C-alpha cells in the first residue's frame, strides 16, 4: 500500500498490473507519459 501526497492510498502492484493489461486502450500521450516514468 502506497500513500500518495494527497493522502490517497493505492496498491501500486495492482495499478501496474491494470496499466499493463489495458495498455492497448491508452492514447499515445498516455503511453509517452508512462515511458517517461520508466513503465514499459
CA distances from 2 to 6, 20, 25, 30 (A): 11, 19, 25, 22
pLDDT, mean of residues 10-34: 86
CA angle 39, 25, 9 (to 5 degrees): 55
Query: Residue 27 is placed in which grid cell?
Result: 492514447
- Give the pLDDT band (50/70/90) at residue 32: very high
| pLDDT at 21 > cutoff 90 | no
SS3 letters for 2-26? Answer: EECCCCCEECHHHHHHHHHHCHHHC
3-state secondary structure of 40: coil
- Comparing 12 with 29, which gets the higher pLDDT? 29
Output the pTM of the full model: 0.47
Amino acid at each position: 500500500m502506497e500513500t500518495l501526497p494527497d493522502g490517497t492510498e493505492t496498491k501500486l502492484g495492482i495499478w501496474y498490473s491494470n496499466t499493463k493489461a489495458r495498455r492497448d486502450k491508452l492514447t499515445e500521450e498516455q503511453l509517452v507519459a508512462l515511458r517517461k516514468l520508466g513503465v514499459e
